[in-house]
Amino acid sequence: MTTAILATNEIALARAIAAMAPADVRTGCRLIRDGDEAHLLPDEARSMPARQPAMRRASGAARFLAHRLLADAGFDGFAVLRTPSGAPAWPEGITGSLAHDDDMAVAAVAAIGDFGSLGIDVEPAQPLPHDLLPIVATPADRTGAVGEQLAGRILFAAKEAVYKAAYPLDRKVLGYEDIAVDLETGQATTSTGRKARLAYCVAPRVVVLATVSE
Protein backbone atom coordinates (compact mmCIF):
# COMPACT_ATOMS: atom_id res chain seq x y z
CA MET A 1 0.00 0.00 0.00
CA THR A 2 1.38 3.45 -0.85
CA THR A 3 2.23 5.98 1.84
CA ALA A 4 -0.49 8.33 0.54
CA ILE A 5 -3.20 5.68 0.94
CA LEU A 6 -1.92 4.78 4.39
CA ALA A 7 -1.96 8.45 5.43
CA THR A 8 -5.57 8.78 4.21
CA ASN A 9 -6.37 5.64 6.20
CA GLU A 10 -4.91 7.25 9.32
CA ILE A 11 -7.37 10.15 9.14
CA ALA A 12 -10.30 7.88 8.29
CA LEU A 13 -9.46 5.48 11.11
CA ALA A 14 -9.08 8.28 13.68
CA ARG A 15 -12.61 9.39 12.79
CA ALA A 16 -14.02 5.86 12.86
CA ILE A 17 -12.52 5.09 16.28
CA ALA A 18 -13.68 8.40 17.76
CA ALA A 19 -17.20 7.75 16.41
CA MET A 20 -17.52 4.27 17.94
CA ALA A 21 -15.83 4.95 21.31
CA PRO A 22 -17.85 5.94 24.39
CA ALA A 23 -17.81 9.73 24.87
CA ASP A 24 -15.55 9.62 27.94
CA VAL A 25 -12.80 7.58 26.20
CA ARG A 26 -9.97 9.50 24.48
CA THR A 27 -8.65 7.69 21.42
CA GLY A 28 -6.04 8.07 18.73
CA CYS A 29 -4.32 6.25 15.90
CA ARG A 30 -1.01 6.74 14.12
CA LEU A 31 0.51 5.31 11.00
CA ILE A 32 3.80 3.77 12.21
CA ARG A 33 6.63 5.87 10.72
CA ASP A 34 10.36 5.34 10.36
CA GLY A 35 12.00 6.76 13.48
CA ASP A 36 8.93 6.38 15.73
CA GLU A 37 11.08 4.57 18.29
CA ALA A 38 12.39 8.07 19.13
CA HIS A 39 9.02 8.76 20.81
CA LEU A 40 9.88 6.31 23.57
CA LEU A 41 10.85 8.30 26.67
CA PRO A 42 14.14 7.07 28.25
CA ASP A 43 12.32 5.19 31.06
CA GLU A 44 9.92 3.64 28.53
CA ALA A 45 12.81 2.44 26.35
CA ARG A 46 14.48 0.92 29.42
CA SER A 47 11.23 -0.87 30.32
CA MET A 48 11.26 -2.82 27.03
CA PRO A 49 14.81 -4.09 26.49
CA ALA A 50 15.80 -6.54 23.74
CA ARG A 51 12.97 -5.88 21.28
CA GLN A 52 13.10 -6.08 17.48
CA PRO A 53 13.48 -2.65 15.79
CA ALA A 54 10.00 -2.95 14.21
CA MET A 55 8.44 -3.62 17.62
CA ARG A 56 10.26 -0.64 19.19
CA ARG A 57 8.99 1.51 16.32
CA ALA A 58 5.41 0.29 16.87
CA SER A 59 5.68 0.79 20.64
CA GLY A 60 7.08 4.28 20.01
CA ALA A 61 4.12 5.14 17.75
CA ALA A 62 1.69 3.88 20.41
CA ARG A 63 3.52 5.88 23.12
CA PHE A 64 3.36 9.00 20.90
CA LEU A 65 -0.43 8.63 21.02
CA ALA A 66 -0.52 7.79 24.72
CA HIS A 67 1.56 10.86 25.61
CA ARG A 68 -0.80 13.11 23.66
CA LEU A 69 -3.94 11.57 25.17
CA LEU A 70 -2.49 11.69 28.69
CA ALA A 71 -1.41 15.33 28.26
CA ASP A 72 -5.01 16.15 27.28
CA ALA A 73 -6.11 14.42 30.50
CA GLY A 74 -3.65 16.44 32.61
CA PHE A 75 -0.70 14.03 32.75
CA ASP A 76 1.88 15.79 30.60
CA GLY A 77 5.22 13.96 30.30
CA PHE A 78 4.01 10.73 31.95
CA ALA A 79 6.15 7.72 30.92
CA VAL A 80 3.97 4.69 30.06
CA LEU A 81 6.26 1.87 31.17
CA ARG A 82 5.91 -1.71 29.99
CA THR A 83 5.47 -3.86 33.11
CA PRO A 84 6.93 -7.41 33.25
CA SER A 85 3.54 -8.88 32.22
CA GLY A 86 3.57 -6.69 29.09
CA ALA A 87 0.71 -4.54 30.37
CA PRO A 88 1.35 -0.79 30.25
CA ALA A 89 1.37 1.17 33.55
CA TRP A 90 -0.96 4.19 33.61
CA PRO A 91 -1.20 7.12 36.03
CA GLU A 92 -3.29 6.65 39.20
CA GLY A 93 -7.00 6.91 38.35
CA ILE A 94 -6.45 6.32 34.63
CA THR A 95 -7.05 3.22 32.50
CA GLY A 96 -5.74 2.81 29.00
CA SER A 97 -4.64 0.41 26.32
CA LEU A 98 -2.31 0.24 23.32
CA ALA A 99 -2.15 -1.91 20.20
CA HIS A 100 -0.33 -2.02 16.88
CA ASP A 101 -0.41 -4.08 13.70
CA ASP A 102 2.25 -3.89 10.98
CA ASP A 103 1.26 -0.38 9.86
CA MET A 104 -0.92 1.28 12.48
CA ALA A 105 -0.81 2.01 16.21
CA VAL A 106 -3.87 2.82 18.32
CA ALA A 107 -4.37 4.00 21.89
CA ALA A 108 -7.28 4.66 24.24
CA VAL A 109 -7.29 6.37 27.63
CA ALA A 110 -10.05 7.17 30.13
CA ALA A 111 -10.53 8.16 33.74
CA ILE A 112 -11.50 5.19 35.91
CA GLY A 113 -15.16 5.73 36.72
CA ASP A 114 -18.12 4.09 35.01
CA PHE A 115 -15.77 1.29 34.02
CA GLY A 116 -12.57 0.15 35.66
CA SER A 117 -10.49 -0.90 32.71
CA LEU A 118 -10.35 -0.77 28.93
CA GLY A 119 -8.64 -2.67 26.15
CA ILE A 120 -8.09 -2.00 22.46
CA ASP A 121 -6.90 -3.99 19.46
CA VAL A 122 -6.22 -3.12 15.81
CA GLU A 123 -6.13 -5.57 12.93
CA PRO A 124 -6.03 -5.37 9.14
CA ALA A 125 -9.55 -5.46 7.64
CA GLN A 126 -8.92 -8.85 6.07
CA PRO A 127 -10.34 -12.29 6.76
CA LEU A 128 -8.68 -14.16 9.60
CA PRO A 129 -6.38 -16.91 8.24
CA HIS A 130 -8.37 -20.18 8.04
CA ASP A 131 -6.05 -22.05 10.39
CA LEU A 132 -6.55 -19.42 13.13
CA LEU A 133 -10.35 -19.42 13.15
CA PRO A 134 -10.79 -22.79 14.94
CA ILE A 135 -8.34 -21.62 17.61
CA VAL A 136 -10.09 -18.31 18.20
CA ALA A 137 -13.79 -19.14 17.81
CA THR A 138 -15.76 -21.29 20.27
CA PRO A 139 -19.39 -22.48 20.23
CA ALA A 140 -20.18 -19.80 22.82
CA ASP A 141 -19.33 -16.96 20.43
CA ARG A 142 -22.07 -15.18 18.47
CA THR A 143 -21.26 -13.12 15.39
CA GLY A 144 -24.90 -12.46 14.44
CA ALA A 145 -25.39 -10.55 11.21
CA VAL A 146 -21.71 -9.56 10.86
CA GLY A 147 -20.48 -10.40 7.36
CA GLU A 148 -18.71 -13.74 7.14
CA GLN A 149 -15.62 -12.14 5.56
CA LEU A 150 -14.60 -10.19 8.65
CA ALA A 151 -16.47 -11.96 11.46
CA GLY A 152 -13.44 -14.04 12.45
CA ARG A 153 -11.14 -11.04 12.41
CA ILE A 154 -13.50 -8.98 14.58
CA LEU A 155 -13.89 -11.91 16.97
CA PHE A 156 -10.10 -12.18 17.23
CA ALA A 157 -9.68 -8.46 17.89
CA ALA A 158 -12.54 -8.49 20.41
CA LYS A 159 -10.93 -11.28 22.44
CA GLU A 160 -7.56 -9.51 22.45
CA ALA A 161 -9.21 -6.23 23.52
CA VAL A 162 -11.20 -7.96 26.29
CA TYR A 163 -8.06 -9.72 27.50
CA LYS A 164 -6.14 -6.43 27.67
CA ALA A 165 -8.99 -4.88 29.67
CA ALA A 166 -9.39 -7.84 32.04
CA TYR A 167 -5.72 -8.54 32.72
CA PRO A 168 -4.99 -5.42 34.82
CA LEU A 169 -7.99 -6.26 37.04
CA ASP A 170 -7.42 -10.00 37.52
CA ARG A 171 -3.74 -10.58 36.60
CA LYS A 172 -4.84 -13.81 34.95
CA VAL A 173 -3.68 -15.03 31.54
CA LEU A 174 -6.73 -15.95 29.44
CA GLY A 175 -6.96 -18.01 26.26
CA TYR A 176 -9.43 -17.47 23.43
CA GLU A 177 -11.62 -20.20 24.95
CA ASP A 178 -11.90 -18.13 28.16
CA ILE A 179 -13.69 -15.26 26.42
CA ALA A 180 -17.20 -15.57 24.95
CA VAL A 181 -18.09 -12.78 22.54
CA ASP A 182 -21.53 -11.72 21.31
CA LEU A 183 -21.08 -9.21 18.49
CA GLU A 184 -24.85 -8.76 18.15
CA THR A 185 -25.33 -7.42 21.69
CA GLY A 186 -21.80 -5.95 21.88
CA GLN A 187 -20.97 -7.89 25.03
CA ALA A 188 -18.34 -10.36 26.13
CA THR A 189 -17.87 -12.53 29.23
CA THR A 190 -14.66 -14.00 30.61
CA SER A 191 -14.19 -17.26 32.47
CA THR A 192 -13.16 -15.08 35.43
CA GLY A 193 -16.64 -13.54 35.50
CA ARG A 194 -15.84 -10.18 33.92
CA LYS A 195 -18.39 -8.60 31.61
CA ALA A 196 -17.18 -6.31 28.84
CA ARG A 197 -18.96 -3.93 26.52
CA LEU A 198 -17.63 -3.89 22.98
CA ALA A 199 -17.49 -1.20 20.32
CA TYR A 200 -15.90 -1.79 16.95
CA CYS A 201 -15.26 -0.40 13.50
CA VAL A 202 -14.16 -2.32 10.41
CA ALA A 203 -12.93 0.35 7.98
CA PRO A 204 -10.28 1.17 7.11
CA ARG A 205 -9.09 -1.30 9.78
CA VAL A 206 -10.72 -3.49 12.38
CA VAL A 207 -10.48 -1.85 15.80
CA VAL A 208 -12.28 -3.18 18.88
CA LEU A 209 -12.55 -1.27 22.13
CA ALA A 210 -13.60 -3.22 25.24
CA THR A 211 -14.63 -1.65 28.53
CA VAL A 212 -14.90 -3.71 31.72
CA SER A 213 -16.53 -2.72 35.00
CA GLU A 214 -14.59 -3.22 38.23
Residues that bind ligand COA (CB under 6 A): 59, 62, 82, 85-88, 98-100, 121, 159-160, 163-164, 167, 173-176, 179
Tell me whether residue 145 or residue 154 sits nearer to ligand COA (CB atom).
Answer: 154
Report the nearest approach of ligand COA to the CB of residue 208 (Å): 10
3-state secondary structure at position 116: coil
Phi and psi torsions of 139, nearest 5°: -60, -20
Nearer to ligand COA, 163 or 200 (CB): 163
Q: Nearest distance from residue 173's CB to ligand COA, in Å?
A: 5
Q: Positive or negative, the Cα torsion across 148, 152, 158, 161?
A: negative
CB proximity list for 146: less than 8 A, separation 6 or greater: 154, 183
Phi, psi of 171 (to 5 degrees): 55, 40
CB of 162 to ligand COA, least distance (A): 7
Specify the residue, 16 or 82, whose C-beta has the smaller distance to ligand COA: 82
Min. distance of Cβ 163 from ligand COA in angstroms? 4
Of the pair 85, 213, the CB lying nearest ligand COA is at 85
Residue nearest to ligand COA (CB): 86
Rounded CA gap, 114 and 22, in Å? 11
| Cβ neighbours of 16 (radius 10 Å) | 20
